[in-house]
A = this chain, B = another copy of it.
Amino acid sequence: MTASTASPSQCLHVELDARRYPIHVGPGLLDDPAMLVPYLAGRQVMIVTNETVAPRYLERLKRALSGDDRDVREIVLPDGEHTKTLASVERIWDALLAAGFNRRCTLVALGGGVIGDMAGFAAACYQRGVAFVQVPTTLLSQVDSSVGGKTGVNHPRGKNMIGAFWQPRAVVIDTQTLTTLPSRELSAGLAEVIKYGLIHDIEFLAWLESRMTALRALDAEALTEAILRSCAIKAEIVAADETEQGQRALLNLGHTFGHAIEAHQGYGNWLHGEAVGAGMAMAAELSRRLGWLDDAEVARVEALIVHAGLPVTAPAAMSGDDFLATMRLDKKNIDARLRLVLLSRLGEACIHDATPPDMLDALLADFPRH
């Protein structure tokens, strides 16, 4: 018996690039062939995973995918952002060719965002494109990488510089995989969940306030709903802006300040979601100084970020100039004008390139440190 019969899973259909695929969310889906097998292109299946995830979930996923004369193999890569290189993707291609896999094979990504990005890119370019199924096992990848089709690897000169847009045939999210996720990483994923509420849906924001304790206690129903609503908001924003000119930039709330923190502290010392948490607090405070939020609303935003287990203060060692040095390089900027994603009100974001320099300098100087 699979857990999904005990606690029914839910499903969202994403429609992008003239393709349509389902995101299945619920507890125990990793064991459920019905959630996986319909999306395989043929009998050849290659699971791409890493050394952290494999001992926990690989055998269960393999069992669910096996049967009917299927040839299910795996490639287990090292863990970590530093492995997100073309050399790792070449290892996937080598494994596919050594196995004699043809154009009707399917790649299944089992792991977090790094595994999903690499397996998706490998699928996009193997024999000019093969089927791809995502089984994301971190909250961040479940709410971020499930929608948008971005795949790729880092280059010594920049993150995600080499890649392709490639949509999965299905995304299968087993909320039980979050039980083995370090709580710091759960909180980091919650930063992106909160972001979706802040930029697009004040009702979802209120729901998060009421359910944050349940989410951090890994309540399956709360997680399922949070993930589905997050994916639905991202799908709506991406669909409205497939060329990535306007709306989609709103997904970067907190990210401009956050990237500055990550870059200054060294990637990996602050988790991405932790930096985004502090960054969203900074964006909320700047929105207040521009007259768009009141004190109570900023306090509400900060309380929710704190409740998720995330920082709302910047690193002690970081000066205003340290922030500006990275922020000036942000891709959103046009003609050297800083463009920031801010909150025009709770549940609605905007792109703003006219923050008075004095106001920004003051915020960066006096925003609380820890």
Contacts and interface: CB of A to CB of B under 8 A. Distances in A.
Contacts of A165: 128-129
Contacts of A127: 160-163
Interface stretch (A57-65, A90-98, A281-289, A319-327): A90-98
Interface string A140-184: 000000000011100101101111110000000000000000000
Nearest to A96: B161
A120 to B, nearest CB: 11
Complex copy number for this chain = 2
A39 interface: no
Contact of A162 (B93, B98, B155): B93
A129 B90 CA distance: 19
A37 interface: no
B152 A128 contact: yes
A86 interface: yes
> Interface size bucket, A side?
20 to 34
B125 A125 contact: yes
B126 A162 contact: yes
A157 to B, nearest CB: 4
A125 B93 contact: no
Contacts of A150: 128
Interface string A79-95: 00000001000100110
Contact of A86 (B90, B158, B164): B90
A250 interface: no
Which of A90, A128, A158 gathers the greatest number of chain B CB atoms within 10 Å?
A128
Nearest to A98: B157
B164 A128 contact: yes
A48 to B, nearest CB: 16
A324 B97 CA distance: 23
A249 interface: no
A164 B125 contact: yes
Q: Name the 8 nearest CB pairs between A and B, nearest first.
A: A97-B157, A128-B163, A125-B162, A125-B164, A128-B165, A128-B164, A93-B162, A97-B155
12 contacts: A18-B18, A86-B90, A93-B161, A97-B155, A97-B158, A97-B161, A98-B157, A125-B162, A127-B163, A128-B160, A128-B163, A164-B164
Given A86-B86, A97-B155, 17 more contacts: A18-B18, A93-B162, A97-B157, A121-B125, A124-B164, A125-B164, A126-B161, A126-B162, A127-B162, A128-B150, A128-B151, A128-B152, A128-B160, A128-B164, A128-B165, A129-B164, A164-B164
